[in-house]
Amino acid sequence: MARRGKTLAFIEVKARARDDAATEAVTTHQQRRIVAAARYWLASHPGDAARNIRFDVVLVVPGRFPRHIPAAFDATV
């Protein structure tokens, strides 16, 4: 999780041997789990509920710079 200004980003980091494998690792099931964890966090920290919420993904592949995908998915999964 990271805060910047009025935005609160929940960030999933996936490390895999290949870029496509890292991308595929963020399945719909995984997204639902991340959204559920975010909802739990927001219920426990009501001061953050007024922030803009975003779900980012960072893909880590050996020999490459990490790839940050802002707003990779939303809470409607």
The ranges assigned to domains in the chain are: 2-73
pTM of the model: 0.88
Q: Does domain 2-73 have CATH number 2.30.30.100?
A: no
% of the chain beyond a pLDDT of 90: 81
77 C-beta neighbours (distance < 10 Å), count: 14
Would the pLDDT of 11 be above 90? yes
Sheet holding 67-73, edge to edge: 2-4, 7-15, 52-60, 67-73
Percentage of residues in the chain having pLDDT higher than 70 = 100
**For residue 32, which of 61, 10, 59, 58 has the smallest C-alpha distance?**
10
Quote the mean pLDDT of the chain. 92
Output phi, psi for 42, to 5 deg.
-65, -35
Paired sense of beta strands 67-73 and 52-60, if any = antiparallel
